[in-house]
């Protein structure tokens, strides 16, 4: 039996997972998926900023389009740190597509004009 | 060759520089810090004492009383916030009442007008006092001042009148010549006829660069609480404890912006720069303050700080031309702020062979002071400069126009603390949380430097370590 | 002088939601005043994800969440001004005068029939918590460091210690690590964290950052820039335990030691403040004791989730609309008080009228496990809820049917262990 705190949403349900990956204590079905993934292949969303040239702001905030494997977080950060973009950038613009071949895009979360 | 070299740009050095700037003298002020008034002058009780308390016949007594008298004029000429709100020294038991009565005699000897009031009389003029109070000594001439502004204003006016200020220059040695001195700093070397030593806690060291040891400065620290402004009538006078067998006591006082100061403690320390605070000491301050007011509003606390006073082992101010052309102005602890214009007068008299300038202007260009203006005046002011419409500091309602002015003036601000001392952004409840980034941007823009180079106060007190993304 | 039916002060999540909902309820003559250069408020610097699950059933970052409301505001052509600061509100016989200023217009006076204040909160500072020792640079609130990092692109330091396990502190621990700093630890005065559980997991545990519960900073060392901090354990009475000091060499100490509603405009109007929340006392319509002045968001009380702020803004907007139509029935007043185990309840009062429901928000005073929440009048239970977990960091909300409230006696909320 393993106890986990669900991080899918801010509610933070206290999950219990038995050896056969049966989950209890979840508030919704996403908790079950989370618990199973967390014990087999943990993933996380990454948020950061990317340098913008010629805009009203010098950084644009970005997010991964999907969670990335937990052990790839710092590698993804390195890619994010390397890239520079030119204004204008619009919210939802893809800044890096398929980062590190993970099938995940780095997406702008704000417009910088 | 300078006629006068003043070492130290605290309130004493700055006031002397300003006073001497009315003469045809080539004056240099050397300051080791990156701004004026960063020592004792910016961390004290901000009181212009009436002068009833110092030992009759001492320099302290004479210069305090004279200085207090001069302050209306000084504040007017320099456009410095100054309010004669009066002080009340409160006696809560028989021992203190006896001491209080002895203070009346002392006040008479010092030529200061005071009045003893009973509990009920006190309660009418100062409702905040605790019910334990038996009697109080009212000194109506006591005032409060904005000490940051005073030093900056004096130096600004001095520079307007031709004085040169060199910041970040620490005096490393002084060599006596046949006529005059050579003053060496970490950066330069200057020939000067007079040296005026106003180096605060370091004035004993400066003196000993040329002269025999004749006094020692013992740094004494005072720790304070600062309360936010919440009610302009919370405490209306400077409230003092009676100095008794239990010690010197503390004060509770409004500031010129209706913040309230509670303190100071009084501890002798070894390190001349140690302005740390300590919980036990502050708890003790708190206890003493309860003998002044019952309703000590520490729920309004926004800051704690401490300052160092340069106390001389001689027990009095040391103001002397110790050898020809070398003047010590040392040991200027409380009531130094109050005495500063009179100290400057005294030093003025010591300078030989001086000749008045025709174009000396004792007036400093007034500050915009948006908060003191009516709405019509504010509207008019914004037409002259739209930056007065851009409010940067939410807590104290300070505009970009005022900040830019504080940077561009003579003796202008170059640090976040420098801006704060001059026009107050960061003095409020959020302590700069909301406005510091904006103040830094304005500083970087006005000074033409990278924002990473902007420091909080001292030279190594950087705020931003590095840019992200390898910048 | 221009007259507006509604002036909303603050263009963050609360203010945007309030303006939009007031508009949708028929108030068209609205002005939103925002101090910063962009609408969106503090969300713009909260670039992490986790926002909007309740409102949009999906997880957004702060800027994305803000963007949705900004678009809604613009679609409705609601008037707004950015870089505009309100310096004063004055009460007139019938309405209010609002004085604002900005660089383009200077100081401007306008009339407002109603006002919604959504001015956010401020972070407690080192001065407020009497942090002892030196006062070097490098000691700052977590939100300040967040602003520098996420909006301006600067790292405030490389070796970081964090005091307080509030959410901003936890989020900043992760952000600083991702951007290249070392985070040496987080100290929390209480024996439990004040942040959301998921932030403990994904901001600290993921990066092996130790959390020191029942610890606080004893002393700050460094004359110019911060050089080190000494932390020490505290006992159940929050007194230091001798011999438990740990010294951390660091250039930065971030403070996440509490948020205080920011209401500088209200006290001079005679608005009464709640001693616990430090925001205004409001009724169920989120109206203050000064009729026509409403409050929502973090300037009313500090929220854990922006979704709740959005809801509260919507209630506020609706209430202001009702007030403007003269439909706000404030007869038959009932006080609402916190009972055992509850640190505060909001609103302070409700009215027995024809409305169907009202919402109670409250926080518990310490963590509880397997307890009952009771809402009652005298001995009559209005609502009873079983709760597996209750923690101070998470605000609880309960919708009450007004038909269940039958007398004018005080309503009490309490925890039964």
Q: Which residue intervals of C57-166 are DSSP H helices?
A: 62-75, 142-146
Does C229 share its domain with C378? no
| Stronger pLDDT, B233 or A1, i.e. the higher one | B233
In a domain, A92, yes or no: yes
Handedness of CA B166, B171, B173, B175 (dihedral sign): positive
Q: How many CB atoms lie within 10 A of CB C387?
A: 14
Report yes or no: B415 and B35 within 8 Å, Cβ to Cβ: yes
Give the closest of C61, C197, C198 to A47, CB-based.
C61
Burial class (CB in 10 A: 0-12, 13-18, 19+), C223: middle
> Closest by alpha carbon to C298, among C284, C321, C316?
C316
Contact C137 B455 (CB under 8 A): yes
Smallest Cα distance from C150 to chain A, Å: 7
Tokens of B111: 């030529």
In a domain, A113, yes or no: no
> Closest by alpha carbon to B406, among B424, B379, B431, B392?
B424
Chains near B with 3+ CB pairs less than 8 A apart are A, C
Q: Which residues of B are catalytic?
A: 49
Largest CA distance in chain C: 66
Domain holding C410: CATH number? 2.60.40
Q: Which residues of A touch C178 (CB under 8 A)?
A: 46, 48, 73-74, 77
Chain C within 8 Å of B456 (Cβ-Cβ)?
A: yes
Smallest CA–CA distance from A44 into chain C, residue = C202
Does C146 share its domain with C208? yes
Contact B457 C137 (CB under 8 A): yes
* 3-state secondary structure at position B442: helix
In a domain, A87, yes or no: yes
Q: Which of C121, C126, C127 to substitute to test the interface with B, most B CBs within 10 Å?
A: C127
Does A29 share its domain with A66? no
Give the closest of B230, B386, B433 to C123, CB-based.
B433
Determine which helix (DSSP H) or strand (DSSP E) holds C90, and give its type and residue range.
Answer: strand C85-91
Chain A within 8 Å of B468 (Cβ-Cβ)?
A: yes
User: A26 lies in which domain range?
Assistant: 2-40
Which residue matches tokens 């710092």? A74
B12-26: per-residue pLDDT in tens? Answer: 999 999 999 999 999
Q: Which residues of C touch B304 (CB under 8 A)?
A: 127, 130-131
> Closest by alpha carbon to B461, among B273, B306, B308, B186?
B273
Domain holding A56: CATH number? 3.10.530.10
- CA B348, CA B351: separation in Å to the nearest integer? 6
Contact C107 B375 (CB under 8 A): yes
Does C228 share its domain with C264? no
Does C402 share its domain with C306? no
Chain C within 8 Å of B433 (Cβ-Cβ)?
A: yes
- CA B71, CA B86: separation in Å to the nearest integer? 14
- CA A15, CA A23: separation in Å to the nearest integer? 7
Does A26 share its domain with A52? no
Contact C152 A58 (CB under 8 A): yes
> Closest by alpha carbon to C348, among C411, C395, C290, C266?
C411
- CA C127, CA B262: separation in Å to the nearest integer? 14
**Taking an 8 Å Cβ-Cβ cutoff, which residues of chain C contact chain A?**
44, 47-50, 53, 59-64, 67, 149-153, 178-179, 196-198, 200-202, 206, 304-305, 388-389
* Residue ranges of C 178-207 with Cβ closer than 8 A to chain B: 179-180
Give the closest of A6, A7, A63 to C61, CB-based.
A63
The reported pLDDT for the residue numbered B244 is 75
How many residues in total does chain B contain? 471
The reported pLDDT for the residue numbered C391 is 84
Beta-carbon contacts of A103 under 8 Å, excluding residues fewer than 6 positions away, are A66
User: C11 lies in which domain range?
Assistant: 1-123+258-328
- CA A34, CA C9: separation in Å to the nearest integer? 40
- CA B465, CA C417: separation in Å to the nearest integer? 50
- CA B148, CA B39: separation in Å to the nearest integer? 11
* 3-state secondary structure at position B374: coil
Report yes or no: C116 and C316 within 8 Å, Cβ to Cβ: yes
In a domain, A17, yes or no: yes
In chain A, how many domains are there?
Answer: 2
Tokens of B261: 């100061």
Q: Which of A53, A55, A58 to substitute to test the interface with B, most B CBs within 10 Å?
A: A58
Question: What residues does C182 pair with on adjacent strands?
Answer: C159
Q: Which residues of A touch B437 (CB under 8 A)?
A: none
Smallest Cα distance from B300 to chain C, Å: 8
Does A30 share its domain with A52? no
- CA B225, CA B288: separation in Å to the nearest integer? 13
Q: Sort strands C349-351 and C333-338 into parallel, antiparallel or unpaired.
A: antiparallel
Domain holding C96: CATH number? 3.50.50.60
Can you spell out the DSSP letters for B94-111?
HHHHHHHHHHHHHHHHHT
Report yes or no: B117 and B135 within 8 Å, Cβ to Cβ: yes
Tokens of B223: 């720790």
Q: Is the pLDDT of residue A46 over 80?
A: yes
Contact B468 A84 (CB under 8 A): no
In chain C, how many domains are there?
Answer: 3
Residue A87 gets the label, from left (phi > 0), alpha (psi -120 to 50) or beta, of beta
Ranges in chain C, pLDDT < 70: none
Backbone angles phi, psi at C31, to 5 degrees: -130, 130
Report yes or no: B254 and B144 within 8 Å, Cβ to Cβ: yes
Backbone angles phi, psi at B160, to 5 degrees: -55, -30
Tokens of A20: 């056969």
Q: Which of B265, B417, B463 to substitute to test the interface with C, most C CBs within 10 Å?
A: B463
Does C78 share its domain with C175? no
Does A12 share its domain with A51? no
Smallest CA–CA distance from C156 into chain B, residue = B464
DSSP state, residue C407: S
Q: Which residues of B touch A49 (CB under 8 A)?
A: 468-469
Q: Which of B229, B402, B430 to substitute to test the interface with C, most C CBs within 10 Å?
A: B430
SS (H, E, C) B194-255: EEEECCHHHHHHHHHCCCCCCCCEEEEEEEEEEECCCCCCCCCCEEEECCECCECCCEEEEC
Q: Sort strands C106-117 and C96-102 into parallel, antiparallel or unpaired.
A: antiparallel
* 3-state secondary structure at position A1: coil
For the domain covering B370-453, report its CATH number: 1.10.10
> Closest by alpha carbon to A49, among C50, C155, B258?
C155
Contact C61 A61 (CB under 8 A): yes
- CA C180, CA C157: separation in Å to the nearest integer? 10
Contact A73 C178 (CB under 8 A): yes
> Closest by alpha carbon to C184, among C233, C120, C230, C121?
C230
Smallest Cα distance from A14 to chain B, Å: 36
Does A88 share its domain with A69? yes
Does A52 share its domain with A20? no
Report yes or no: B44 and B119 within 8 Å, Cβ to Cβ: no
Report yes or no: A31 and A13 within 8 Å, Cβ to Cβ: yes
Contact A49 C305 (CB under 8 A): no
Chains near A with 3+ CB pairs less than 8 A apart are B, C
Q: Sort strands B260-263 and B391-393 into parallel, antiparallel or unpaired.
A: unpaired
Burial class (CB in 10 A: 0-12, 13-18, 19+), C205: middle
Smallest Cα distance from C132 to chain B, Å: 5
Does A58 share its domain with A99? yes
Does C278 share its domain with C390? no
Does A80 share its domain with A61? yes
Contact C67 A57 (CB under 8 A): no
CB pairs under 8 A between A and C: 78
Chain C within 8 Å of B461 (Cβ-Cβ)?
A: yes
Contact B470 A81 (CB under 8 A): yes
Determine which helix (DSSP H) or strand (DSSP E) holds A82, and give its type and residue range.
Answer: helix A73-82
A88-112: per-residue pLDDT in tens? Answer: 999 999 999 999 999 999 999 999 9
**Taking an 8 Å Cβ-Cβ cutoff, which residues of chain A contact chain B?**
49-51, 59, 81, 84
Q: Which residues of C touch A59 (CB under 8 A)?
A: 150-153
Q: Which of A106, A110, A111 to substitute to test the interface with C, most C CBs within 10 Å?
A: A110
Backbone angles phi, psi at C148, to 5 degrees: -60, -40
Ranges in chain B, pLDDT < 50: none
Q: How confident is the model at residue A10 (pLDDT cuts 50, 70, 90)?
A: low
DSSP state, residue C341: T
Tokens of B313: 């082992």
Give the closest of B379, B394, B469 to C153, CB-based.
B469
* Residue ranges of C 206-265 with Cβ closer than 8 A to chain B: 219, 223-225, 251-252, 262, 264
Q: How far is CA C188 from CA B186, C106, C214, in A?
A: 45, 45, 6
Chain A within 8 Å of B471 (Cβ-Cβ)?
A: yes
Beta-carbon contacts of A61 under 8 Å, excluding residues fewer than 6 positions away, are A47, A48, A49, A108, A109, A110, C47, C61, C63, C150
């Amino acid at each position: 039996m393993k106890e986990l705190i669900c991080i899918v949403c801010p509610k933070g349900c206290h999950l219990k997972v038995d050896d056969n990956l049966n989950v209890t204590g979840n508030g919704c079905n996403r908790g079950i998926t989370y618990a199973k993934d967390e014990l087999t292949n943990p993933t996380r969303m990454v948020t950061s900023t990317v340098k913008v040239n010629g805009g009203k702001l010098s950084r644009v905030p970005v997010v991964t389009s999907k969670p990335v494997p937990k052990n790839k977080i710092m590698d993804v950060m390195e890619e994010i740190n390397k890239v520079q973009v030119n204004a204008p950038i619009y919210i939802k613009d893809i800044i890096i597509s398929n980062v590190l071949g993970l099938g995940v895009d780095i997406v702008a979360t704000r417009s910088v004009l | 060759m300078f006629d006068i070299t003043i070492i130290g740009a605290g309130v004493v050095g700055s006031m002397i520089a300003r006073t001497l700037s009315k003469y045809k003298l080539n004056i240099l002020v050397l300051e080791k810090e990156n701004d004026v008034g960063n020592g004792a002058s910016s961390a004290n009780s901000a009181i212009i004492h009436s002068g009833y308390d110092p030992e009759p016949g001492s320099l302290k007594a004479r210069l305090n009383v004279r200085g207090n008298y001069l302050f209306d004029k000084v504040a007017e000429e320099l456009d410095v916030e100054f309010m004669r709100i009066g002080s009340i020294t409160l006696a809560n038991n028989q021992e203190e009442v006896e001491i209080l009565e002895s203070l009346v005699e002392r006040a008479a000897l010092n030529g200061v007008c005071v009045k003893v009031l009973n509990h009920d009389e006190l309660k009418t003029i100062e409702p905040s006092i605790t019910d334990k109070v038996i009697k109080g000594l009212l000194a109506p001439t006591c005032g409060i001042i904005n000490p940051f502004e005073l030093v900056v204003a004096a130096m600004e006016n001095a520079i307007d009148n031709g004085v040169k200020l060199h910041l970040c220059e620490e005096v490393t040695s002084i060599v006596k010549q046949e006529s005059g001195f050579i003053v060496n700093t970490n950066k330069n070397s200057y020939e000067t006829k007079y040296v005026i030593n106003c180096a605060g806690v370091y004035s004993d060291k400066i003196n000993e660069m040329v002269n025999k040891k004749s006094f020692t400065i013992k740094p004494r620290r005072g720790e304070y609480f600062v309360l936010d402004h919440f009610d302009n009538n919370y405490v209306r006078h400077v409230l003092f404890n009676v100095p008794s067998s239990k010690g010197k006591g503390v004060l509770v006082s409004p500031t010129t912006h209706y913040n309230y100061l509670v303190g100071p403690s009084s501890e002798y320390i070894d390190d001349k720069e140690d302005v740390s605070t300590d919980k036990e000491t502050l708890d003790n301050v708190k206890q003493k303050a309860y003998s002044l007011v019952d309703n000590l509003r520490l729920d309004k606390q926004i800051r704690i700080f401490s300052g160092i006073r340069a106390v001389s082992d001689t027990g009095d101010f040391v103001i002397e031309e110790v050898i020809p052309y070398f003047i010590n102005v040392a040991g200027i602890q409380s009531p130094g702020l109050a005495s500063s214009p009179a100290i400057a007068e005294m030093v003025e008299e010591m300078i030989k062979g001086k000749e008045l300038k025709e174009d000396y202007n004792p007036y400093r260009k007034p500050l915009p002071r948006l908060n003191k203006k009516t709405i019509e005046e504010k509207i008019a002011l914004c037409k002259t400069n739209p930056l007065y419409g851009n409010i940067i500091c939410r807590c104290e309602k300070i505009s970009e126009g005022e900040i830019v002015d504080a940077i561009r003036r003579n003796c202008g601000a170059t640090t976040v603390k420098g801006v704060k001392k001059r026009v107050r952004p960061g003095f409020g409840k959020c302590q700069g949380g909301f406005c510091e980034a904006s103040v830094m941007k304005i500083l970087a823009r006005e000074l033409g430097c990278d924002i990473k180079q902007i420091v909080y106060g001292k030279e190594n007190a950087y705020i931003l370590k590095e840019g992200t993304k390898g910048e | 002088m221009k007259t507006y039916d509604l002036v909303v002060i603050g263009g963050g999540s609360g203010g945007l939601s309030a303006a939009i909902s007031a508009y949708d309820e028929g108030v068209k003559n609205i002005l939103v005043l925002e101090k910063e250069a962009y609408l969106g408020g503090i969300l713009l610097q909260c670039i992490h994800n986790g926002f909007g699950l309740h409102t949009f059933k999906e997880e957004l970052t702060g800027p994305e969440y803000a963007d949705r409301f900004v678009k809604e505001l613009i679609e409705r052509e609601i008037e707004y001004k950015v870089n505009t600061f309100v310096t004063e509100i004055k009460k007139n016989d019938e309405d209010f005068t609002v004085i604002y200023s900005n660089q383009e217009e200077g100081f401007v006076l306008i009339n407002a029939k109603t006002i919604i204040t959504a001015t956010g909160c401020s972070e407690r500072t080192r001065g407020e918590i009497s942090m002892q020792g030196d006062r070097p640079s490098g000691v700052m609130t977590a939100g300040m460091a967040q602003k520098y990092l996420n909006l301006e692109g600067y790292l405030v330091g490389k070796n970081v210690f964090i005091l307080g396990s509030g959410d901003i502190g936890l989020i900043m621990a992760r952000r600083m690590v991702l951007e290249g700093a070392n985070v040496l630890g987080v100290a929390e005065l209480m024996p439990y964290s004040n942040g959301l559980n998921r932030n403990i997991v994904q901001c600290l545990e993921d990066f092996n950052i130790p959390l020191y519960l029942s610890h606080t900073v004893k002393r700050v060392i460094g004359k110019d820039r911060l050089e080190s901090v000494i932390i020490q354990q505290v006992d159940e009475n929050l007194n230091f335990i001798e011999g438990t000091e740990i010294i951390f060499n660091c250039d930065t100490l971030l403070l996440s030691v509490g948020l205080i509603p920011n209401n500088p405009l209200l006290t001079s109007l005679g608005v009464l403040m709640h001693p616990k929340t430090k925001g205004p006392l409001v009724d169920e319509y989120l109206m203050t004791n000064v009729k026509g002045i409403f409050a929502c968001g973090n300037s009313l009380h500090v929220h854990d989730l922006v979704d709740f702020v959005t809801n509260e803004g919507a209630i506020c907007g609706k209430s202001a609309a009702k007030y403007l139509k003269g439909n706000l029935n404030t007869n038959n007043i009932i006080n609402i008080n916190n009972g055992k185990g509850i640190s505060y309840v909001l609103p302070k009062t409700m009215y027995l009228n024809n409305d169907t429901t009202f919402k109670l928000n409250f926080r518990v005073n310490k963590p509880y496990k397997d307890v009952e929440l009771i809402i009652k009048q005298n001995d009559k239970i209005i609502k009873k809820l079983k709760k597996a977990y209750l923690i101070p960091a998470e605000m609880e909300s309960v919708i009450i049917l007004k038909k269940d409230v039958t007398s004018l006696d005080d309503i009490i909320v309490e925890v039964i262990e």
